[in-house]
Chain A
Amino acid sequence: MSQVPLTHILFVSTALFFIGTYGLFTRRNMITMLMSVELILNSVNINFVVFNKYLYPEALEGVFFTLFIIAIAAAEAAVAIAIIINLYRNFRSIDVEDAGELKF
């Protein structure tokens, strides 16, 4: 059984990264922005796993890193959701454009 070439998987992760970046830059909705950040993180996860698998099959560090990132991403999501809820309570919206009180 022939393996999927490394470049294919890297292509997927790169696409995922830029989709996430694009979403982060263009969306004004906080939840969508959070989702975009998750996409970016997952693209990095894919990179870690793939490089681990293809370059150092006997090692496990890349997989561990991925696990850590998933844990941290979960924590980050919890914090972000808390921020979003607070934002909603104050502004009755979760649009980042509306939270402009500290601007000059």
Chain B
Amino acid sequence: MPNAACILLIPLLPLIGFAVLGLFGRKVFRSFSGVIGTALVFVSAVLALWAAYGFFFGRGDHPSFSVTVLDAPWLVFYKGLSIDMSIVLEPLTVIMIVVVSLISLMVHLFSLGYMKGEPRFATYYAFLGLFTFSMLGLVLAGNLFETYVFWELVGCSSYLLIGFYYDRPSAVAASKKAFIVTRFADLGFLIGILILSFHSGTLNIDDLSLLSNQPQPAGASTLFLGFSVLSWGLALVFTGGAGKSALFPLHIWLPDAMEGPTPVSALIHAATMVVAGVYLVARLIFLYALYPGVLEIILYVGAISALLAAIVACTQTDIKRVLAYSTMSQIGYMMFSLGAVRPGGDPTAYTGSIFHLFTHAFFKALLFLCAGVIIHRVHSNEMKDMGGLRKTMPFTHFCFLVACLAIAGIPPFSGFFSKEEILLAAFRADKFIYSIGLFTSGLTAFYMFRLYFSVFWKKPQRADHAHPMPLVQSIPLALLTIGAAFAGFVPIPRFLLLFSETEPAHASPVFSIPPVTIALLGIGIAAWLYKEESDRPGRAAAALRGLYSLARNKFYIDEIYLFVTKKIIFHLIGRPAAWIDRHIVDGLMNALATTTARISACIKGLQSGKVQDYAWFFFIGIAGLAIFFIYIYT
């Protein structure tokens, strides 16, 4: 087990990178800044792996469930309620720091080639460092308020990176949208934290876990609108997580966030930041398990997001948007799996969710990085501009295929194992959700292979000059391909349950037949429709006309938001408020100002600028005082 200083260095090294590159990158280091940022993250990834090894294997015979590395009081309100800056390691945290630092390292490496020649290269690496720091801080935080601080930092760096190409109006709009939507959800998170801390008297996650052992936790009996306040608090915390994790109906920012550079999408909007919501719920799962009502909400929100996003993904034509909706769908998977947790039930739901988070990070990051390579080659995001790239980009083709097989859940690729656990959990909890999950997994296979066939097959090959991929790009792709293929063999559930008594459950092999069959079916349909140039996709779209246009337009959710904000909030609330502001509030102030101006115009003659006038006033004043003190005061 590495000592506390080493663990502190894991998040601090990227922060140092941010400070150094942000201050001196553009003037001093220039194109060298990428190497500095990458080296720092590399050290931090090595430390994270070392910490993980030490945590799981190097702690003697009877290790505790969690290790508090740092606990520094920061804001003390009164004795009992204080906000501490603490770092707590527990199995989930350790897995997360490994995932975050590894994916971040891959993206740092990949960007060395991908962002080469970018005028704001150093700034880009500075922002990446800031993001890595905040994300690592978020997962290491042992205190809900500290989590919130890093949560906002993550949102801020996401905002900065989405709007990295700030000369494009669409990128600026996308970054604003992402910031506002997630910020709106974070308001729920903050209120949730306040409710939880008010009723439990603590913000420490470890102390909150003690709360769940009490038969009647404080605040459980206080009701609000028929539900206990603690369940309200937990539901509000989940709102924050739903906003960050792009769950229905707060998902609208994620597809637009694809305006950022592609490696950023891979890091933030696929592998790490968007799973923060899943992480948060998983971290507090011992509390959520006490309130089946809240779990039910999580279950349905997750399932709806998974299904809806998968349907929309089938109709999108922008390669990055397809991947964005696929991310949303996969996060929906993780979320409904957490919603399937039942108190005292088997831990598959919880472990499956984290397992899927782990494997998803690899194959989704890989998909995005491959998309980046493809976009660089064809200079377009649209699938219709691609096609037949199989021969010219054999290496990318191979990586992309592995990632597609992994996300589709074909054995023995990583996605198969994790998705099976989730489906098993859903099967045990709720048959309806299970059927949604099964159907979504078929859809996942379909839209991923629709993408695959449209990009790599379909059109006859075009004559274009192949430029070899630099090593800094192909190494991360290769490593992530290995991860996407074999991450399923890492026994994440076993790690998660290493220090508790429960044993991970195993599914019978029969259970994996339906998901694999439906995935193969999806791949088959995709191959039939998209492998060659044909009119089949058009006819299929025509046959499903209503549904197709509904999905093509993302179920008009953006339009609903626009309607609500523009028509209802702006016109019915904003306009009257503006009128009151302009005419009543401003009017009062204006009246005050004009009165003052008038009075001053009347009396400014006194300020004549003539010395002798002032001498007169002085004399009269003295005379007046003399008279006062001689005749009146005595």
Binding site for B on A (CB under 8 A): 21, 24-26, 28, 96-97, 100, 102-104
Contact = CB atoms under 8 A, between A and B. Distances in A.
Contact of B609 (A24, A28, A104): A104
Contacts of B612: 24-26, 28, 96
A83 B604 CA distance: 28
Nearest to A96: B611
Interface of B: 604, 607-612, 615-616, 619
B607 A104 contact: yes
B609 A21 contact: no
A32 B441 CA distance: 105
A25 B615 contact: yes
A24 B607 CA distance: 19
A25 B615 CA distance: 7
Contacts of B619: 21, 25
Contacts of A26: 612
A8 B27 CA distance: 87
7 contacts: A24-B612, A25-B612, A25-B615, A25-B616, A96-B612, A103-B608, A104-B604
Contacts of A25: 612, 615-616, 619
B523 to A, nearest CB: 86
A40 to B, nearest CB: 11
Contacts of A21: 619
A25 B620 CA distance: 12
A96 B608 CA distance: 13
Given A102-B609, A104-B609, 9 more contacts: A21-B619, A28-B612, A96-B610, A97-B610, A100-B609, A100-B610, A103-B609, A104-B604, A104-B607
A14 to B, nearest CB: 13
Contacts of B609: 100, 102-104
A104 B610 CA distance: 11
A21 to B, nearest CB: 7
Nearest to B613: A25
Contacts of A104: 604, 607, 609
A102 to B, nearest CB: 7
B630 to A, nearest CB: 15
Give 5 nearest A-B pairs by CB, closest first.
Answer: A103-B609, A25-B612, A96-B611, A100-B609, A25-B616
A102 B615 CA distance: 18
A26 B608 CA distance: 15
A24 B609 CA distance: 16
Contacts of B604: 104
Contacts of B607: 104
B311 to A, nearest CB: 74
Contacts of B608: 103
A104 B619 CA distance: 23
B608 to A, nearest CB: 8
Nearest to B604: A104
Nearest to B611: A96
A104 B600 CA distance: 13
Nearest to A102: B609
A65 to B, nearest CB: 20
Contacts of B616: 25
Contacts of B611: 96
Nearest to A21: B619
Nearest to B607: A104
Instruction: From A25, A26, A96, A100, name the one whose CB has the most chain B CB atoms within 10 angstroms.
Output: A25
A104 to B, nearest CB: 6
A103 B605 CA distance: 11
A97 B609 CA distance: 9
A96 B613 CA distance: 12
A36 to B, nearest CB: 10
Nearest to A26: B612
Contacts of A96: 610-612
B610 A24 contact: no
A85 to B, nearest CB: 18
Nearest to B609: A103
A24 B611 CA distance: 10
Contacts of A103: 608-609
B391 to A, nearest CB: 84
A103 B606 CA distance: 12
A21 B619 CA distance: 9
B605 to A, nearest CB: 10
Contacts of A24: 612, 615
A20 B611 CA distance: 16
Nearest to A30: B611
A71 to B, nearest CB: 24
A28 B616 CA distance: 14
Contacts of B610: 96-97, 100
Contacts of A102: 609
Nearest to A97: B610
A28 to B, nearest CB: 8
B613 to A, nearest CB: 9
A25 B612 CA distance: 5
A52 to B, nearest CB: 23
Nearest to B619: A21
A98 to B, nearest CB: 11
B312 to A, nearest CB: 69
Nearest to B608: A103
A23 B99 CA distance: 93
A24 B616 CA distance: 9
A87 to B, nearest CB: 12
A96 B611 CA distance: 8
Nearest to A100: B609
A104 B607 CA distance: 8
A93 to B, nearest CB: 15
B619 to A, nearest CB: 7
A76 to B, nearest CB: 15
Contacts of A97: 610
Instruction: From B607, B609, B615, name the one whose CB has the most chain A CB atoms within 10 angstroms.
Output: B609
Contacts of B615: 24-25
A102 B607 CA distance: 11
Nearest to A28: B612
A47 to B, nearest CB: 15
A103 B615 CA distance: 16
A33 B79 CA distance: 74
A21 B618 CA distance: 12
A104 B616 CA distance: 20
A96 B610 CA distance: 8
A24 B615 CA distance: 8
B6 to A, nearest CB: 69
A21 B611 CA distance: 13
A96 to B, nearest CB: 6
A7 to B, nearest CB: 18
